[in-house]
């Protein structure tokens, strides 16, 4: 009975020992999840290029691509970058193939190459990226927000132009007063002329009657 109890305690201790040890090796890989750990293949990775001794697990004589993400990408908002503690990272092998230099340190770099598989469970053991080509990622600053144009004051209502008044018609010329002829003759000639007409009419009437009798 005591044996079984001791054996059971041993098993429990052993089990707890595994529980306390395994998490140190079960942490997520710091490789940007480009490929499963047991696979190798061609990848395009983008990250901040730093010296190996500035990041956990890096080697002083190696470049390290930190803050790794899957590429390619068209641009970044700023050229400079820094490595973050615990960030995803890859050891850069054979950088001379792409003429990589120290002038690229602290800058965003895109590397295409072969990512080697990794069987070591230690998360501080960085996966190796064998360089085939590399380039600086173009920098495109974010566009400044467009300034909202100030509201223009409403234009004052246009004043109606005064219409020209029609010119006043010139006054009609006054009719000339009738000229009065000077009273120079008397009414006697007119009376005499009327009498002559009466005598002539009588003669003509008489002549007409005589013709009728004949």
How many angstroms separate the CA atoms of 120 and 130, rounded? 18
- For Cα atoms 92, 134, 123, give the angle at the middle one, nearest 5 degrees: 25
The domain made up of 26-136 has a fold known as OB fold (Dihydrolipoamide Acetyltransferase, E2P) (2.40.50)
Below-50 pLDDT ranges, the chain: 1-27
* pLDDT tens-digit series, residues 6-25: 434 433 333 334 333 344 33
Q: Which residues of 46-57 are buried (b: 16+ CB within 10 A; e: fewer)?
A: bbbbbbbeebee
Residue ranges of the domains in the chain? 26-136
pLDDT at 172: 66
DSSP labels, the chain:
-HHHHHHHHHHHHHHHHHHHHHHHHSSPPSSTTSS-TT--EEEEEEEEEEEGGGSTT--TTSEEEEEEEES--S-BS-SB----TT--EEEEE-GGGGT--GGGTTBEEEEEEEEPP-----TTSPPEEEEEEEEEPPB-PPPPPPPPPPPPPPPPPPPPPPPPPPPPPPPPPPPPPPPPPP--S-SHHHHHHHHHHHHHHHHHHHHHHHHHH-
Q: Looking at the whole model, is its pTM more than 0.75?
A: no
The answer to whether 87 touches 67, Cβ cutoff 8 Å, is: yes
pLDDT number for residue 82: 92
What confidence score (pLDDT) does residue 23 get? Answer: 41
Query: What is each CA distance from 89 to 16, 63, 121, 148, 165, in whole angstroms?
Result: 31, 10, 15, 43, 91
The per-residue pLDDT for 183 is 58
Q: Which residue has the tokens 């092998």?
A: 93
Upper half-sphere CA count for residue 123 (Cβ side, 13 Å) = 16
Q: What pLDDT shows up at residue 84?
A: 83
The C-alpha atoms of residue 85 and residue 54 are separated, in whole angstroms, by: 9
> Can you tell me which residue has the tokens 């490595």?
83
pLDDT of residue 90: 95
């Amino acid at each position: 009975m005591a044996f079984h109890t001791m054996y059971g305690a041993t098993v429990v201790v052993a089990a707890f020992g595994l529980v306390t040890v395994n998490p140190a090796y079960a942490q997520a890989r710091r490789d940007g999840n480009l490929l499963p750990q047991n696979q190798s293949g061609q990848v395009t990775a983008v990250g901040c290029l730093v010296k190996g001794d500035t990041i956990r697990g890096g080697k002083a004589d190696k470049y390290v691509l930190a803050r790794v993400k899957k590429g390619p990408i068209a641009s970044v908002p700023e050229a400079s970058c820094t490595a973050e503690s615990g960030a995803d990272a890859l050891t850069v092998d054979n950088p001379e193939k792409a003429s990589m230099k120290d002038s690229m340190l602290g800058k965003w770099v895109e590397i295409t190459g072969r990512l080697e598989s990794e069987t070591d469970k230690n998360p501080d053991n960085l996966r190796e990226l064998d360089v085939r080509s590399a380039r600086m990622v173009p920098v495109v600053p974010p566009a400044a927000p467009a300034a909202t144009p100030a509201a223009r004051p409403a234009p004052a209502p246009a004043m109606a132009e005064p219409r020209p008044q029609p010119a006043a018609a010139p006054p009609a010329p006054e009719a000339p007063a009738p000229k009065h002829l000077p009273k120079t003759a008397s009414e006697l000639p007119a009376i005499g002329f009327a009498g002559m007409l009466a005598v002539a009419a009588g003669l003509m009437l008489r002549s007409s009657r005589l013709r009728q009798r004949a």
